[in-house]
Structure 1
């Protein structure tokens, strides 16, 4: 149940109108890394977590709701940056006025350029935010990632928060309004906070690597193919031990010769790891049963309801009275049948 408080979570302000930056800010309103995408992604992911992971359901719903509040902050900022545009567009008697938005801030050619890159922004919204990115591409549900496995979804969310943060960083380079920068800094900082929340939630699910349930094939989980010619580089991604599985990286200097010698990797032997195919089969079986049982035990069969409502004193009394009336009616009906 959503309850809208009309005051913003953060007191968004602007020092002056700036239609051009308002257009850029649409990237975080209806863009692929924006606030609506984040809100919908966490909202959708939460449904599958409700029964097996009620604590993660609570977190996802809380963060999704906060993301909706951030969408409101971005929308309010866009609206303030467009202050006066709506009135200018309504003034049909003075066609040249809109071509000199905000007293000469944008010359006619700049307005034409903006219209060419995102015509819907001014031509259809008349000076209000719309669900597109800064180029006018409509928001799409395809931006949302929800795969039904929290070890996957939480990692997707960490990526989403990372991408949203860097967009805010870039946006701050295109405005000199200290108030707008203050708002963008707040929104950017909340991305950092959410990243840590998702990371912490992921660590409470063990084991959580690799993502999902099935384990990696030990023949191929620690091979690094030198796929380019010229100067090569070594690092913890291709030498020493792998970060999660603790296997020794096998550097394949000549991938073509290696593929030919192993019959297209079919005859690849296990090297640099203690993991065996028998061990992997056992882990797959045990973890599959564990995760399946986890969901089954948390799933209600037959009649079900999503919420348990805490009633106030008066509501409880009314509920009791209602229950008493229903019992009397059922008794009367039974007697009538006799």
Structure 2
């Protein structure tokens, strides 16, 4: 028997008091990118929500954080949806004014709004024609939201890095969206949402740092023969930097710069005779660490699994 006690509770106020100065059909369409797009709020909410299931017992602190942030992302989805709806003020009513000819020209201060509206409807007919002037779970050009946007590897160190990337992408989308509206109230909401992406980035980064060891992602360690090799794989002017000289940032190994990869591959029998250089790690030490981390992760998973008196409780 499974006992599940999780509960969602909707509060009828928005997390941030989203406001709009005037309708803007075209920006409403652009804003759909953060409603149902690959970097939008629904993607983030579902990604963190799904990832949390795997660490409920083994890492309850990270589970708590993931659920908190996932729930906040749902609140951001509500802010975006509310803003889209406000930006479409007038459209919904005109679409329902079936008895008389609709006058959409009033919506954009005398501009040829009806022609613009028809153009927008042609590029995203589902949003304007099928939905009747309400937000749709699509991106800005009408592609439907898909679960293929969700990324998760079942390993916290990998998932948290994926989430840092997701927050980075979402932050950039909001930053770019801010260039396409001059409504100060809309900009106020976008800035809030953009800022929360920055906050979440730091939360995921801090959570990642709290898990040790956390590099490389997963359990198995890398081959010391190849972990610090930099292959100069392009012709032209070469550049040096912390990515190919000095010490590697995570493992502290000395970068080995391979200036002529073809010659190097030929000399090492297709890298089969490659030797580890610039590192203290050996094949023996790698296998020892593989076993120790595997045992640690297994113990964490086993500790989370056993039922109590034949009952598994969430």
- Equivalent-residue separation in structure 2 for 1:225 and 1:263 (angstroms): 16
Distance 1:52 1:91, change over 3 A: same
Q: Is the aligned partner of 1:158 residue 2:145?
A: no
Q: Is the aligned partner of 1:252 residue 2:286?
A: no
List per-residue Cα deviations over 1:60-96 (Å, max 9, x = no partner): 1111000000000000000000001011111224445
Q: Which residue in 2 is equivalent to 1:192?
A: 198
Bigger Cα Rg: 1
Q: Is the aligned partner of 1:218 residue 2:224?
A: yes
Superposition RMSD in Å:
1.3
Q: Which residue in 1 is equivalent to 2:302?
A: 296
Q: Which residues in structure 2 correspond to 1:35-184 (within 5 Å)?
A: 35-95=41-101, 97-98=103-104, 101-184=107-190
**More helix per residue: 1 or 2?**
1
- Equivalent-residue separation in structure 1 for 2:173 and 2:61 (angstroms): 30
Q: TM-score, normalised by structure 1?
A: 0.88
Stretch moving more, 178-187 or 288-297: 288-297
Does the CA-based 8 Å contact 1:99-1:111 persist in structure 2? no
Say which SS state the counterpart of residue 230 (structure 2) adopts: strand
11, 16, 19: which one aligns with 2:22: 16
Q: Which residue in 2 is equivalent to 1:201?
A: 207
Runs of 4+ deviating beyond 6 Å: none
Q: Is the aligned partner of 1:279 residue 2:285?
A: yes
Distance 1:106 1:67, change over 3 A: farther
Larger RCO (alpha carbons 8 Å, 6+ apart): 2
List per-residue Cα deviations over 1:234-272 (Å, max 9, x = no partner): 100011100001111111111111112212212111111
- Equivalent-residue separation in structure 2 for 1:64 and 1:96 (angstroms): 41
List per-residue Cα deviations over 1:245-300 (Å, max 9, x = no partner): 11111111111111122122121111111110100000000110011111111222
List per-residue Cα deviations over 1:119-144 (Å, max 9, x = no partner): 11101111110000001000000101
Q: Which residue in 1 is equivalent to 2:36?
A: 30
- Equivalent-residue separation in structure 1 for 2:201 and 2:230 (angstroms): 29
Does the CA-based 8 Å contact 2:244-2:257 persist in structure 1? yes
- Equivalent-residue separation in structure 2 for 1:108 and 1:73 (angstroms): 27
List per-residue Cα deviations over 1:151-199 (Å, max 9, x = no partner): 0000110100010000000000000000000000000000011111111
Q: Which residues in structure 2 correspond to 1:225-244 (within 5 Å)?
A: 225-244=231-250
Does the CA-based 8 Å contact 1:100-1:106 persist in structure 2? no
Stretches of structure 1 that go unaligned for 5 or more consecutive residues are 307-338
- Equivalent-residue separation in structure 2 for 1:10 and 1:164 (angstroms): 18
Distance 1:113 1:256, change over 3 A: farther
Stretches of structure 2 that go unaligned for 5 or more consecutive residues are 1-6
- Equivalent-residue separation in structure 1 for 2:65 and 2:112 (angstroms): 44
Stretch moving more, 132-141 or 99-108: 99-108
